[in-house]
Structure 1
Amino acid sequence: MPERPEIVCICGSMRFVEDMRVVSQGLSLAGCIVLMPTEIDGPITEEQKTALGELHLRRIDLADRVVVVNRGEHFGESTLREIAYAEAAGKPGTFVGVAWGSQ
């Protein structure tokens, strides 16, 4: 195992939280530290949603790379913002079999 494990941030719609969990487990078993969106049971306010979105951008800041979980469907506004943020920060990432940045 490397001196510091790779840190991977999982992004995507919470509609795919089960898929995110599977990806998280695989990455963890591969020796990665995994950061992913916070699961909230029940309704949240717009203010809370905005705060959680900003918190997730800080996770991207901490990550070495990003994995976007999606089933090939349309990307939502939040996920597109996360992808753009990761790209602007120079974070390599993968989603739906496509990679950006250097791995």
Structure 2
Amino acid sequence: MPHQTATTGRPPIVALCGSTRYWDALAEANLYETAAGRIVLAPGCNMKQPHLLWADPVQADRLKAQLDALHRRKIDLADEVLIVNPGGYIGDSTRSELDYARRLGKPIRYTHPTGEGEAGRG
């Protein structure tokens, strides 16, 4: 189990960020982070898979904006961010979330090396 956060006495909260095209990798990271004793905040919708909630393009655009804002609130709540980036892939949405987390000063980990000097999760 990881150490509790010094200020709250609760397990650390980690926000998972990454492309939903790698939904299985996000689920695997969620599993490992949970087993390590962390509270995990992760994407809750995979809009790359068909669903009635985003079948209409106008609805899909509205929902995408809503989910992007919601994920930023998850980053706000998190003690750290884990970028799920198989093969080092970081798309535009994930890059935006990464930049946001950096602006907030959140510690950032990666599941795979990025070529930018950051190490993977190991």
Per the TM superposition, whether the score is higher than 0.5 is yes
Higher normalized strand content (fraction of residues): 1
Runs of 4+ that moved beyond 4 A: none
Q: Which runs of 5+ in 1 are unaligned?
A: none
Give the drift of 1:46. Answer: 0.5
1:63 aligns with 2:78: yes
Identity of aligned residues (%): 39
Q: Give the SS at the match of 1:9.
A: strand
Larger radius of gyration: 2
Whether 1:30 aligns to 2:64 is no
In structure 2, the partner of 1:20 is: 26
- Once residues 47 and 27 of structure 1 are traced to their aligned partners in structure 2, the CA distance between those partners, rounded to angstroms, is 30
Quote the offset at 1:77 in angstroms: 1.4
Report the counterpart of residue 15 of structure 2 in structure 1: 9
The 3 A distance-change label for structure 1 pair 73 and 32 is: closer
Deviations 1:45-83 (A, max 9, x none): 101101000000000000000001011254221111000
Moved more, 89-98 or 13-22: 89-98
Instruction: Report the TM-score, using the length of structure 2 for normalisation.
Output: 0.74
CA RMSD between the two structures: 1.7
Per-residue CA shift, 1:10-41, capped at 9, x if unaligned?
Answer: 00000111111111111111110000011245
* Structure of higher RCO (CA pairs closer than 8 Å, 6+ residues apart): 1
Equivalenced residues, count: 99
Q: Distance in 2 between matches of 1:50 and 1:23?
A: 24
The residue identity in structure 2 corresponding to 1:17 is W
TM-score by length of 1: 0.87
